[in-house]
Amino acid sequence: MRKAAKQIVICAVILTLLCVACRIVFFNQFSICLPLGEDWQEDTPIRVEQPEILRLGPAEKHDGYLKIPVIPEKPGDADVYFGSGDNSREELRMLRVDRFHTVFELNSGNYTGDTAVLIAVTLFWLLVSAIMMWHFLRAKGAAFYDYETIYYSGFSLFALASGLVMLSVTVSRMVHPETYNMFSACSAMAGASTRYMQMTSPLVLAFALAMAVSNIALLRHEKPRLQNILGLAVSALLIAGEALGWYLFTRDFMGSELEGRIDSTFRNTYATLFIYFQCMLTGAAVCGINAARHRPAPDKDFIIINGCWFRKDGSLPPLLRGRADRALAFWREQKEKTGREAAFVPSGGQGSDEPVPEAEAIRQYLLSQGIEDRLIIPEDRSVNTLENMAFSARIIRAANPEGKTVFSTSSYHVFRSGILAGLAGLAAEGIGSKTKWWFWPNAFMRETAGLLAKRWKQELLFLMLLVAFFGILSMVL
């Protein structure tokens, strides 16, 4: 993440310098854009109250508006009037010139070189999206199992959507400068979170509906325990969140300018909170699916089989048998292609309701499938996935420090297991066994919750920074 952050900062610095260069070289003049209509024509009287501050160049007629160049003379404030003095429709443009001869139009928020700034902001968001996506695609093998890949995949979509919004804003400002001013552009920038939430709401609702359907199917096959209704809880939260967002974004608001800013800040802050969790959920889902579909190269020396509960008679239930069968399929495919025989490391200790360690139950199953005992090295002390990986890593290092490793677990558990393997100091790739369609989504939600709970302090800090950024942006703009 540090490398990506460094690249993003470099892009921001370069774009800032380009804005300064464009301001000096290409955007040294400011223009007032006056719509042409029933009230304003090409011969509309124009007067400058403070001609020593600035002067106006000859008006240029464009499609639907007049473009009037402003040439700054010295720092100060100046008023420009359009229309005759006795015209009740006379229009006032208040301008300010700073010591760098930058002209600010106080009525609209326009300023010298504002188009260059909009272009730079658009490029910044698009480059952020490209940088994150590039790092996501570069994460291969054991390096893929990392929290950073969640950020890369989830927030690259947010950055891309923000870039597209900014592209629309920039084009509108360039094509219709007489009606689309910088106040409108800044409002769109501050409301990037709101726009993203509105754009993605159909996908979020479709995901919530699919999650609810799968969870209902799960409850028809499993006992109604708390952990088996997580999918329904997530679905309800997503739907309620979208409903609240729709209410906040569409309700009519009446109040002072300060109250309007507070209301806008609240809406944008809410959207930022919702989108943060949406991006994290999206990133976790993308990483989880990619991890489950991954096919490691057939060059492995060890195959870890993550244990789980098994029956009292010693037989493996479908979940654990699926993990063992997936490991066997990989072992046989590798041997057929390369002639290489990997050693199995069945992993799992003995639970209070289990007659033998999980590793031993898996070992017996492997023997029944024709695997020689010399190729099985049980790890029978672990009580969770992290210990599965840590204790198995010790066995593997003792047997072959340079050995390449793959682990086999349920499809929804691959990504989190890979992260835990990395935390245990084990560079390993994962393979996932198939699970019932109605079991996978709810189980994956549990994995995602467990995954993010490990880093709640970092997640909270990052969330607070995002909320502060968009909140301050809303109040200022």
Residue 412's closest CA among 388, 447, 452, 453? 447
State the amino acid at position 82 in one-letter form.
F
Range with the lowest mean pLDDT among 296-310, 344-358, 395-409?
A: 344-358
Structural domain ending residue among the three candidates 112, 141, 173? 112
Q: What is the pLDDT of residue 471?
A: 64
Alpha carbon distances (Å) from 127 to 19, 163, 170, 262: 16, 9, 16, 31
Instruction: Identify whether 197 is part of a domain.
Output: no
Q: What is the pLDDT of residue 304?
A: 96
Instruction: Identify whether 349 is part of a domain.
Output: yes
Residue with tokens 């540090």: 2
Q: What is the mean pLDDT of residues 157-182?
A: 87
Q: What is the mean pLDDT of residues 122-135?
A: 93
CATH of the domain at 335: 3.40.50.620
Q: What is the pLDDT of residue 131?
A: 94
Q: What is the pLDDT of residue 262?
A: 75
Instruction: Identify whether 49 is part of a domain.
Output: yes
What share of the chain in percent tops pLDDT 70? 92
Range with the lowest mean pLDDT among 28-32, 131-135, 394-398?
A: 28-32
Whether the predicted pLDDT of 155 surpasses 60: yes
Q: Residue 79, SS3?
A: strand
Q: What is the pLDDT of residue 44?
A: 67
Whether the predicted pLDDT of 361 surpasses 80: yes
Burial class (CB in 10 A: 0-12, 13-18, 19+), 453: exposed
Would you place residue 132 in the very low, low, confident or very high pLDDT band (cuts 50, 70, 90)?
A: very high
Q: What is the pLDDT of residue 126?
A: 94
pLDDT: which is higher, 6 or 25: 6
Q: Model confidence over 237-282: pLDDT tens digits? A: 999 999 998 888 887 767 666 676 777 778 878 888 888 888 888 8
CATH of the domain at 62: 2.60.40
Would you place residue 223 in the very low, low, confident or very high pLDDT band (cuts 50, 70, 90)?
A: confident
Would you place residue 335 in the very low, low, confident or very high pLDDT band (cuts 50, 70, 90)?
A: very high
- Which among 32-41, 193-202, 309-318 has the top mean pLDDT? 193-202
Range with the lowest mean pLDDT among 211-220, 388-397, 418-427?
A: 211-220
Q: What is the mean pLDDT of residues 186-194?
A: 78
Whether the predicted pLDDT of 330 surpasses 90: yes
pLDDT: which is higher, 167 or 463: 167
| Averaged pLDDT of the chain | 84
Q: What is the pLDDT of residue 40?
A: 56
Characterize the bridge pairing of strands 54-56 and 65-72. antiparallel
Would you place residue 84 in the very low, low, confident or very high pLDDT band (cuts 50, 70, 90)?
A: low
Which pair of structure tokens corresponds to residue 357? 């360690």
Instruction: Identify whether 363 is part of a domain.
Output: yes
Please give the full DSSP string across 314-355, using - where no structure is assigned.
Answer: SPPPHHHHHHHHHHHHHHHHHHHHH---PEEEEE----TT-S
Burial class (CB in 10 A: 0-12, 13-18, 19+), 32: buried
Q: Would you tell me the crossing angle of helices 230-250 and 192-221 to the nearest 10 degrees? A: 150
* Other beta carbons less than 10 A from residue 456's beta carbon: 9
Which pair of structure tokens corresponds to residue 309? 């509960």
Number of compact structural domains in the chain: 2
Residue with tokens 């906040």: 248
* Residue 312: domain span: 302-440
Q: What is the pLDDT of residue 46?
A: 80
Is-contact 308 354, C-beta < 8 A? no
CA distance 382 to 148: 27
Note if the pTM is more than 0.95.
no
Q: What is the pLDDT of residue 430?
A: 94
Characterize the bridge pairing of strands 60-62 and 65-72. antiparallel
Range with the lowest mean pLDDT among 228-232, 294-298, 351-355, 392-396?
A: 351-355
Instruction: Identify whether 348 is part of a domain.
Output: yes
Whether the predicted pLDDT of 327 surpasses 80: yes
Instruction: Identify whether 445 is part of a domain.
Output: no
Backbone angles phi, psi at 429, to 5 degrees: -100, 160
Instruction: Identify whether 418 is part of a domain.
Output: yes
Instruction: Identify whether 314 is part of a domain.
Output: yes
